[in-house]
Protein backbone atom coordinates (compact mmCIF):
# COMPACT_ATOMS: atom_id res chain seq x y z
CA UNK A 1 0.00 0.00 0.00
CA UNK A 2 1.20 3.47 -0.73
CA UNK A 3 1.37 6.32 1.73
CA UNK A 4 -1.23 8.19 -0.33
CA UNK A 5 -3.78 5.41 0.18
CA UNK A 6 -3.10 5.30 3.92
CA UNK A 7 -3.50 9.06 4.17
CA UNK A 8 -6.79 8.84 2.25
CA UNK A 9 -8.08 6.14 4.64
CA UNK A 10 -7.12 8.22 7.69
CA UNK A 11 -8.84 11.35 6.31
CA UNK A 12 -11.94 9.32 5.40
CA UNK A 13 -12.06 7.75 8.89
CA UNK A 14 -11.65 11.19 10.48
CA UNK A 15 -14.48 12.62 8.34
CA UNK A 16 -16.79 9.73 9.31
CA UNK A 17 -15.91 10.21 13.00
CA UNK A 18 -16.67 13.96 12.83
CA UNK A 19 -19.99 13.27 11.06
CA UNK A 20 -20.97 10.64 13.66
CA UNK A 21 -20.01 12.97 16.52
CA UNK A 22 -22.13 15.79 15.02
CA UNK A 23 -25.17 13.49 14.69
CA UNK A 24 -24.80 12.17 18.24
CA UNK A 25 -24.34 15.64 19.77
CA UNK A 26 -27.44 16.85 17.90
CA UNK A 27 -29.40 13.96 19.38
CA UNK A 28 -28.18 14.77 22.89
CA UNK A 29 -29.13 18.41 22.45
CA UNK A 30 -32.65 17.51 21.33
CA UNK A 31 -32.98 15.09 24.26
CA UNK A 32 -31.94 17.73 26.79
CA UNK A 33 -34.43 20.24 25.36
CA UNK A 34 -37.16 17.60 25.57
CA UNK A 35 -36.29 16.86 29.21
CA UNK A 36 -36.43 20.59 30.07
CA UNK A 37 -39.81 20.93 28.33
CA UNK A 38 -41.21 17.89 30.15
CA UNK A 39 -39.90 19.18 33.50
CA UNK A 40 -41.59 22.55 32.93
CA UNK A 41 -44.87 20.84 31.98
CA UNK A 42 -44.70 18.69 35.11
CA UNK A 43 -43.96 21.71 37.32
CA UNK A 44 -46.89 23.62 35.82
CA UNK A 45 -49.30 20.69 36.26
CA UNK A 46 -48.20 20.10 39.85
CA UNK A 47 -48.59 23.80 40.70
CA UNK A 48 -52.07 23.91 39.12
CA UNK A 49 -53.26 20.80 40.93
CA UNK A 50 -51.85 22.06 44.24
CA UNK A 51 -53.56 25.42 43.80
CA UNK A 52 -56.90 23.70 43.05
CA UNK A 53 -56.46 21.56 46.17
CA UNK A 54 -55.76 24.66 48.28
CA UNK A 55 -58.98 26.23 46.96
CA UNK A 56 -60.94 23.05 47.75
CA UNK A 57 -59.51 22.97 51.27
CA UNK A 58 -60.39 26.61 51.81
CA UNK A 59 -56.76 27.75 52.11
CA UNK A 60 -57.27 30.07 49.13
CA UNK A 61 -60.54 31.85 48.36
CA UNK A 62 -62.81 30.59 45.59
CA UNK A 63 -62.83 33.96 43.83
CA UNK A 64 -61.29 35.27 40.63
CA UNK A 65 -57.85 36.70 41.29
CA UNK A 66 -55.15 38.63 39.50
CA UNK A 67 -51.89 36.88 38.58
CA UNK A 68 -49.78 36.26 41.69
CA UNK A 69 -46.21 34.96 41.83
CA UNK A 70 -45.42 31.77 43.72
CA UNK A 71 -42.92 31.84 46.57
CA UNK A 72 -39.30 30.68 46.02
CA UNK A 73 -38.10 28.37 44.60
CA UNK A 74 -40.99 28.66 42.10
CA UNK A 75 -40.93 32.46 41.81
CA UNK A 76 -40.71 32.32 38.00
CA UNK A 77 -44.24 30.86 37.95
CA UNK A 78 -47.46 32.80 38.60
CA UNK A 79 -51.00 31.63 39.31
CA UNK A 80 -54.40 33.11 38.58
CA UNK A 81 -57.91 31.89 39.34
CA UNK A 82 -60.99 32.44 37.17
CA UNK A 83 -64.34 31.56 38.74
CA UNK A 84 -67.37 31.22 36.47
CA UNK A 85 -70.90 30.73 37.73
CA UNK A 86 -72.51 28.21 35.35
CA UNK A 87 -75.78 28.89 33.64
CA UNK A 88 -78.94 27.24 34.96
CA UNK A 89 -78.90 24.45 32.37
CA UNK A 90 -75.33 23.44 33.39
CA UNK A 91 -75.80 23.81 37.15
CA UNK A 92 -78.29 20.94 37.49
CA UNK A 93 -79.24 22.22 40.93
CA UNK A 94 -75.96 21.18 42.50
CA UNK A 95 -74.62 24.61 43.42
CA UNK A 96 -71.52 23.98 41.34
CA UNK A 97 -69.06 26.66 40.20
CA UNK A 98 -66.42 26.32 37.49
CA UNK A 99 -62.99 27.10 38.97
CA UNK A 100 -60.10 27.40 36.54
CA UNK A 101 -56.48 27.75 37.67
CA UNK A 102 -54.04 29.29 35.21
CA UNK A 103 -50.32 28.75 35.73
CA UNK A 104 -47.90 30.89 33.71
CA UNK A 105 -44.17 31.14 33.21
CA UNK A 106 -43.36 34.28 31.21
CA UNK A 107 -39.68 33.44 30.68
CA UNK A 108 -40.50 30.07 29.11
CA UNK A 109 -43.69 31.38 27.45
CA UNK A 110 -45.67 28.51 28.99
CA UNK A 111 -49.27 28.44 30.22
CA UNK A 112 -51.19 25.57 31.80
CA UNK A 113 -54.90 25.59 32.67
CA UNK A 114 -56.80 23.13 34.86
CA UNK A 115 -60.50 23.49 35.63
CA UNK A 116 -62.86 21.73 38.01
CA UNK A 117 -66.49 22.07 39.03
CA UNK A 118 -66.67 22.77 42.78
CA UNK A 119 -69.41 23.34 45.29
CA UNK A 120 -69.61 26.91 46.46
CA UNK A 121 -70.70 26.06 50.00
CA UNK A 122 -70.12 22.81 51.80
CA UNK A 123 -73.22 21.07 53.07
CA UNK A 124 -73.30 20.44 56.82
CA UNK A 125 -72.44 16.90 57.84
CA UNK A 126 -75.42 14.86 59.10
CA UNK A 127 -75.51 14.52 62.85
CA UNK A 128 -75.32 11.09 64.40
CA UNK A 129 -77.70 10.21 67.19
Q: What is the mean pLDDT of each run of 10 residues along the chain (129 residues)?
A: 84 95 93 94 95 93 93 93 77 76 93 89 52
| Residue 81 pLDDT | 96
| Residue 118 pLDDT | 87
Residues shown for the chain: 129
Torsional sign, CA 54, 59, 62, 68 = negative
- Sheet with strand 110-119: strands edge to edge: 68-69, 78-84, 96-105, 110-119
The answer to whether the predicted template modeling score (pTM) of the entire model surpasses 0.75 is: no
| Residue 129 pLDDT | 53
Amino acid sequence: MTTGAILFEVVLALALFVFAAAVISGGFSASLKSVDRMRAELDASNLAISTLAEIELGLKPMTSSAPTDFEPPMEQWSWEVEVTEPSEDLDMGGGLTLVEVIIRNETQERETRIARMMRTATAPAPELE
